[in-house]
Amino acid sequence: MEGMLGQVPSWMEDLAEPASEHSWGLFRDLNLGEDTELSGREKALIGVGVAAATSCPYCIYFHTEEARLGGVTDEELREAVNLAADTKYFSTVLHGNETDLDEFKAETDEIVEYITKQQAPADD
């Protein structure tokens, strides 16, 4: 940990002993790992969005700084936060109105099919 971060953050000491190694492994491999499907930049933007949606000031600060290290602009940070807010908003609408999940999935599939057809190259 110290080799990757330059220190052992004090908050890591708050983890219960049986979970400390596992928790560091998750953090290291998912957030800092280079052998993942998502780039560090993409992971940082996801982190900012989730942190904003969960209103966690610790995570907002960490992932914002992580994103800046990856060259993310202020405009991109704002967009990530707005996308998270959009998702949280519509999730509230869907859950609060008890939208039928099967109907929602069917409509989404129809939308995806329509857009896919619209994006297909025209036959000559």
Instruction: With a cut of 80, say whether residue 103 has pLDDT above it.
Output: yes
Q: Determine, yes or no, domain membership for 86.
A: yes
Q: Determine, yes or no, domain membership for 117.
A: no
pTM, two decimals, is 0.77
- Domain encompassing residue 30: 1-98
Torsion, Cα 106 107 113 116, to 10 degrees, reads -140
Q: Determine, yes or no, domain membership for 107.
A: no
One-letter amino acid of 26: L
Q: Determine, yes or no, domain membership for 108.
A: no
Q: Determine, yes or no, domain membership for 61.
A: yes
Q: What is the CATH number of the domain that holds 74?
A: 1.20.1290.10
Q: Determine, yes or no, domain membership for 106.
A: no
Count the domains in the chain: 1
Convert the pLDDT of each residue in 76-87 to its tens digit.
Answer: 999 999 999 999
Q: Determine, yes or no, domain membership for 85.
A: yes
Between 58 and 6, residue with greater pLDDT: 58
